[in-house]
Amino acid sequence: MDNSSQDIYIQTLPCGVKFAFKRAPSPVAYCALSIHSGTRHEPEELPGTAHFAEHMLFKGTSRHCQREINNRLERLGGELNAFTTKEETVVHSTTLKEDISKSTDLLFEIVLSSTFPEKELIKERSVILDEINMYKDSPAERIYDEFEELLFGCHPLSRSILGNAKSLKKISTKDLCDYAESRFIPHSLSFTAVADINPATVANMVEKAISRHYNGRKEIESPLQAISGKESALDKGALFHKEVSRKNHQAHCIVGTSAYSLYDKNRLALLLLCNVLGGPSSNSRLNQRLRERSALVYAVESSYTQYSDTGTFAIYFGCGKGDVEKCLSLTDKEIGYFRDGRMTEAQLKSAKKQLLGQHAISSDNGEVQALSMGKSLLSYGNVMPDSEIRRQIEEITAEEIRSVACEVLAPERLSTLIYRKMEMDHLDKYIITHSTCQGKELEWLTRQTHLRTNRGRMLSGPILGKFLEMVTKMISPSRVLEIGTFTGYSTIAISRGLAPGGTIDTIEINDELEDLIREGYEKAEITDKVRLIFGDVLQVLPTLEEGYDLIYLDANKREYPSYFKAAVKLLRSGGFILADNVLWDGKVYEESTSTDAQTRGIREFNRIVAEDPRVENVIIPLRDGINIIRKF
């Protein structure tokens, strides 16, 4: 038997099972039987088979019925449990050390000789269907599944672990038996234990359990030979920006991408970055920025999941419906901090100490150790000593953090999935279907905005865009001022109604959007009609000449009152101001007083417009509210 460092004993047993044991002074024994077979290995036509099989392992074997299996350890004060992932199925036990032989035998019995009885299958199918429905009621969990479905497309990693109702109704006892016979075999297994007992004694228990319960069915290729050495291709994942209407009080959002695999040399650097950005501690940068400083979210976290040939990196947050774009912007700034290489040596040292401390504390739990060793054996054929993990983490440099941030979290690689209640979703679809289409130029700009920015929802969109075009055609203005360009969608819409020889002055603060804006103007052939001005609105407005026929306002909501006071002076008598987002997701009229600066700004804007004797106005509930203002 090989004896690696830190008292972990590793061996491939004659039966083919990978074995690892750690001796720990405790009256409790922790065992885990890990199977290299998960959701990605199940039949394509029967999603949910792996998870269904895991549930049915407890329902009867060739030797014992469901009741006997459940009582076997629990009557001794022990516990028996299991879980399924995309690449593994794991059954594990906790017992007193004198009962470890019973738990070892039981783990192998339920994995190698389950019969998946039809009577129990019918009952358990109902339980899993309830589990699926319960999962649908938890958007914070459901959004992760949908994100990976979109990210991996037709790849097996896209499958939901639970499966779906349609496939579950098809899965039979024969299907589960065929799956177990082809996947639950010695070379696909690792057995790990943490206990105060001689490791050779436990290894002998494993050999006996195999000979007792394994029927010698045909072996398949060793999973370690099949996957070892593969490195991640970061282009495995698709790029998308999708918003789904869900009737939840909160909005839920994931920003993420494909990432390094289990075998990539950069995975620990990305793990460290993930922990700094949105790890479990309250001092993570995203928690401090989005929750503690801005009070925008209740929960925010980042996660890095490694698979044998790729991985996923995801940032999740839940917030108010109207705060999604603000949270996305702040998240992008935090990621940008690391892409720009601004992490200091002191910050890096602190981050390493935190991650190493978290690892040491979690590893002090015997169950965690047994499960971790099982995954390592399946993935690497070995268990990395804590000293080696510490050495590799300590060697990570600030340049490596910058490099992985640039490679994995580049803006053009990040996808977004948003759940939020959209009250007018079906009405919008009806209106769009029965209105003149936006045209090829704006369709192109819509796609490019979603691909090249993470704030696609800020687009005016086809309904508001057509409204702006129609109003402009009614007014036929010669001079237009646009406050807030974004990517130029509204500029193009307004330009279609200009009087012959008319021009638009448009102000935008973010000069990083310039290339996309100008591309859109060129496609719409309006370059000669538009003067694009970059700068702070309140500094630009005093430099402009009076006499505008139309002013369109869609910029920083906090500054709406100041914008109005400056803009109304630039407007000719009889001219119009159109101000967008003046209902602000309903926050302006909710009974509870919203304290965020955007809501306060819009409320003040609406108040001073209504009270200003120089103008008349009406607010219409188009999209997020338009305030139509006419100067006397």
Show the 3-state SS of 356-402: HHHHHHHHCCHHHHHHHHHHHHHHHCCCCCHHHHHHHHHCCCHHHHH
> Residue 492's pLDDT band (boundaries 50, 70, 90)?
very high
> Residue 323's pLDDT band (boundaries 50, 70, 90)?
confident
User: Which pTM was predicted?
Assistant: 0.69
The predicted-structure confidence for 561-570, as pLDDT tens digits, reads as follows 999 999 999 9
Report the distance separating Cα 181 and Cα 214, nearest Å: 10
| Domains by residue range for the chain, with CATH | 2-227 (3.30.830.10), 234-420 (3.30.830.10), 425-631 (3.40.50.150)
In this model, does residue 472 exceed pLDDT 80?
Answer: yes
Of the chain, the percentage scoring pLDDT greater than 90 comes to 73
State how far Cα 610 lies from the chain centre.
Answer: 43
The predicted-structure confidence for 146-185, as pLDDT tens digits, reads as follows 999 999 988 999 999 999 989 999 999 999 999 999 999 9
DSSP 181-212: HHH-SGGGEEEEEEESS-HHHHHHHHHHHHHH
Contact predicate 468/552, CB 8 Å: yes
Contact predicate 457/433, CB 8 Å: no
pLDDT for 224 equals 37
The dihedral through the CA atoms of 58, 61, 66, 67 has a sign that is negative
* Strand (E) or helix (H) holding 225: helix 223-227
In this model, does residue 232 exceed pLDDT 60?
Answer: no
pLDDT for 425 equals 61
In this model, does residue 506 exceed pLDDT 60?
Answer: yes
Stretch 238-254: mean pLDDT, rounded? 85
Report the distance separating Cα 199 and Cα 81, nearest Å: 23
pLDDT for 513 equals 93
Report the distance separating Cα 242 and Cα 569, nearest Å: 40
Q: C-alpha distances in angstroms, 361 versus 93, 194, 357, 358? A: 21, 16, 6, 5
In this model, does residue 223 exceed pLDDT 70?
Answer: no
Stretch 386-409: mean pLDDT, rounded? 94
Beta bridge partners of 530: 504
> Residue 4's pLDDT band (boundaries 50, 70, 90)?
very low
Stretch 310-335: mean pLDDT, rounded? 92
pLDDT for 2 equals 45
* Strand (E) or helix (H) holding 432: helix 425-433
Report the distance separating Cα 91 and Cα 209, nearest Å: 15
Window from 48-62, 218-232, 392-406 with minimum mean pLDDT:
218-232
Window from 51-55, 99-103, 215-219, 509-513 with minimum mean pLDDT:
215-219
In this model, does residue 337 exceed pLDDT 60?
Answer: yes
pLDDT for 363 equals 84
Beta bridge partners of 12: 18
The predicted-structure confidence for 306-319, as pLDDT tens digits, reads as follows 999 999 999 999 99
In this model, does residue 102 exceed pLDDT 60?
Answer: yes
In this model, does residue 346 exceed pLDDT 60?
Answer: yes
Please report the beta strands in 4-63, taking only residues with DSSP state E, as ranges in sequence order: 8-12, 18-23, 28-35
Largest interatomic CA distance in the chain: 95
Q: Which residue stretches of 57-152 are H helix?
A: 66-74, 100-112, 118-136, 139-152
Report the distance separating Cα 196 and Cα 182, nearest Å: 35
Phi, psi of 437, rounded to the nearest 5 degrees: -65, 160
pLDDT for 417 equals 94
Stretch 328-333: mean pLDDT, rounded? 94
Q: Give the contacts of 379 (CB within 8 A, at least 6 positions apart).
A: 227, 262, 308
pLDDT for 193 equals 96
Q: C-alpha distances in angstroms, 542 versus 75, 366, 539, 570, 614? A: 82, 69, 6, 9, 20
pLDDT for 321 equals 82
Report the distance separating Cα 192 and Cα 187, nearest Å: 14
Stretch 438-442: mean pLDDT, rounded? 89
> Residue 5's pLDDT band (boundaries 50, 70, 90)?
very low
The predicted-structure confidence for 112-147, as pLDDT tens digits, reads as follows 999 999 999 999 999 999 888 888 778 888 999 999
> Residue 105's pLDDT band (boundaries 50, 70, 90)?
very high
In this model, does residue 231 exceed pLDDT 60?
Answer: no
Q: How many helices (H) and strands (E) does the chain have?
A: 24, 19
Window from 3-7, 248-252, 266-270 with minimum mean pLDDT:
3-7
> Residue 595's pLDDT band (boundaries 50, 70, 90)?
low
**Number of Cα atoms under 13 Å in the Cβ half of residue 381:** 13
Most confident of 424-433, 447-456, 586-595, 605-614: 605-614
Reduce the secondary structure of 300-330 to three states and give it as a string.
EEEEEEECCCCEEEEEEEEECHHHHHHHHHH
> Residue 483's pLDDT band (boundaries 50, 70, 90)?
very high
Mean pLDDT for the chain overall: 90
In this model, does residue 229 exceed pLDDT 80?
Answer: no
